Amino acid sequence: GSEEINTSNEGNGSRRRLPVLPSSSRRSSSTTQLMNNPPPQRSNIDYGQIQMTILYDNKQLNVTLWSAENLQGIESSTGYSLPKPYATVRLCVFGRNRIFTTEVDSGNQHPVWSANHVFTNVEENDFMASELEIMVWNYSNSQNHECLGKLVLESASLLNVNNQVQWYPLQNPNGYGRYDTHQSVQNKQSQQQQQISIHTDDYSSVRQDQSSMDLAYQTRQSYHQREPYSFQEFIPPVSSVQSSYT
């Protein structure tokens, strides 16, 4: 399949009220303070957690990567160092990949990205049969950036958390990374909101009526009868990452 890579968070469109953006000067606890939505406890979670908001409506998939917590350190011959984390989000629709990347945070196990992107022209049937893959990487001067953790979500299962600030546990980067959104995760919605500029047309809240859920079930059943899509590891080139590092 083909891949489209987008590293820009700028574009034209309307403004929509979304959870308050954490301060760019945040060090360790501002996400917890500003968003009132602490991550799960560290126990039994080896690869950290990632905080996202996902909204699908009117053929548009709006993904906001807010932050991550408790990422792994980078092992070296002299011990461990802090990672320089960034994330990639890949929408996989029948072998066609659409990708965007966040900026690189400074050496930090608790990065804040506040990165928003809208995948446009996503038909409902395609959305119901697609998967969303999120991978957190350590930026380095080499082409082989180390993957710190990954997460694979069936898009149809995201309807039950539509437009909520949500923490997800990152999975083993060497595994498939699938996560069931019906599992118990903390999902308090932010009490503070402010407008941020996103490149999308105006849209309204998605309707989660019975017919929509029926369509999700039927489409997912049809999808699983198809030959499964084989994910290829995506190692983003240095030129695709927004960073001041040299």
Is pLDDT above 50 for 46? yes
pLDDT, tens only, 194-208? 333 333 333 233 333
Q: Which of these ranges, 97-101, 133-137, 222-226, has the smallest mean pLDDT?
A: 222-226
Interstrand relation of 3-6 and 131-138 (parallel, antiparallel or unpaired) = unpaired
Domain 3-240, what fold? Immunoglobulin-like (2.60.40)
For the stretch 56-73, pLDDT in tens is: 999 999 999 999 999 999
Radius of gyration of the chain (CA): 17
Beta-strand pair 85-93/131-138:
antiparallel
Q: Are 190 and 37 within 8 A, CB to CB?
A: yes
Take residue 136 and report the two structure tokens written for it: 């957190």
Q: How confident is the model at residue 100 (pLDDT cuts 50, 70, 90)?
A: very high
Here the tokens at position 151 are 């997460």
Q: Provide the strand spans (E) within 70-222.
A: 74-76, 79-81, 85-93, 96-101, 112-119, 131-138, 146-154, 165-169, 193-197
